[in-house]
A and B are shown apart, each in its own frame.
Chain A
Amino acid sequence: MINHRNWVLAVTLLLAGTPYLVLADSDVAQLMADCGDCHALNNPNYTQQSATERKNRKAPPLFYAGNKFNRTWLVAWLQNPERIRPAGYYPPAHILRGADGDSVDTSSLPEHTALSAADAAQTADYLMSLKPFTSLVEAAAYEPGTLSWKMGNLTFGKFNGCDACHRDAPDYGGTSGPELYTAWARLQPGFIASYIADPVAWDPHTLMPGNSLNPEVVKKLADYLKVNGEDFK
């Protein structure tokens, strides 16, 4: 049953270009409006903007959430959101200067709203419908494989320096990027490989360097996140 308030919301979202599903539970419209306060639910055409737009974003864009997340993880996380980015989505906004160097001002990091089980499921259903970058995932043509944890760890750290920004264990690695010890549970395999290979194709102003990795290294890194993630569980 869609009441008057939610019809207005639906029309507003449609006019704004937001893909709006005609859902039986119209409260989802309100949920999406709430998400849209911080997350981009439509493609903002970042290529048409200068790089400085990155500092004005409040939260990660979700307009390609359906190409990025695993639904099971999404439903669980929305009910019990734990911090993925130790220094927030825009780290320079959360840095304290000190005599021994910079540190993260954890008191300035925003908390994510926790949803009920029903709201989390409906929100996840909506987000999983947003798939504008399926062609990028298909182009990556990644088939999960395996490798020794040691070789993967060397590829991740010593050979490519991913640990400068990312943690592959709760107590090791950089803090500016999202932690990656839960990446395999959180992200679709094709997204992982595609984003490692060409992060700029997903987000022109990503803070992740392109790094010109060859396909063999991309596969090793994606496989390492699988092996390491399965170990973490």
Chain B
Amino acid sequence: MSTLLKKSTAVLCLAALITGFSSCKKDNKNPSTEEPVTENTYSLRVTSGTPAATYILQTGSITSGTINTAGNGVETKLTTLTTKDGYYYGFDNDSGNLVKYTSNNKTNTIIKEIPFTQISWAYYSSFYKWKDDKTLVLFSSNSAIQFEYAILNIETMAITASGKINVPGLKADHYFWGYNAAFIGEKFYLTYTQNRNSDDISEGVTYLATMDYPAMNNITVTQDSRFTLPEHYTLNMPASFTENGVAYFLASPNIWTSANKNQPFGIYRVKGGATQIDPDYFYELTDRNKEEALGLFYIGNGKAITKILDKTQITGSGSYGSAYITDYYVIDVANQTKTKINIPKSLSGSFSENVLVENGIVSIAANTVDGFYIYQYNISTAAVTRGAKLEGVSGLTRLEKIK
């Protein structure tokens, strides 16, 4: 059960990954004196220095110019889970309280902070899904052995329902791992695997738990042994999307999160109304011994962008941060094809939400040997241009449009 022991450090690790070692912020507690929405429209959550501190930068343009942390951006200890309509939703790292806030390159302003003790939230074992524009559903696996949920109304900032999700079938001396989930209509589809406590190796099976929303009951579980490890840490980077009532998910037994070997990196899917993973579909994305695939950023029309890493250059966890091993590919889940985007190989930014889609343009923040740039990929022409340069930035964990 080494992984459960690991958890404590993992919490710290991932919290640090997301927020920086010792970051902090000044919160303005008086929302009435601050404009809730800034005039800038893009937000970048970045780290700088070693040990790293975390900053929220905002900018009006990501297609040109430079974005710099020198004297600019908010040093922050609030995490960001997600953003919507000008607001950030996340946690106060210390107290674990849920916060809704804005940011303006100078300070963060907390709009509402509420206690969040209904479920056991932890970065290594939690994830979220938007049910609709007003409803954010937060999930935890409480130490990887008991799934839990809490439904947040983002307008009132109130938890309207919470409880346990009693997914049956956890084997003795195993724990749940690899959570990749989707809503299709009023059903919630949760895919996962089970890892052995003794060595953290997945048993080579992927499960699908289907349940009713919002009651989170009427649960059926089926299994599929063609692949294992739905992508983990989906809290920080999407690894699924839903199109036309079909949910597509990435299986990613990457070295970063798993001790598995010789398992496929690929796309599997669940059709709305089904209770099992589509047995006729699996799109293996890479040569499993030479490449890893991470992240699934939906760009429309059955397409998504994924990061493909040169596995032969990985020599340990450190490689993810210091080796230029990442390429970006457009994958077509229907035709099962993939096309490399013409961006130089970059540092992995493994679990960063660094791909943003708007109006047919995909912006990708990539730290290449030429520097840290936000590249623009035109979906219709496949042309790539190099946009804004990031200066004084060691890493980027989120790139998002605020307004």
A-B complex is real: no
Query: Which residues of B come within 8 Å of A, CB atoms?
Result: none
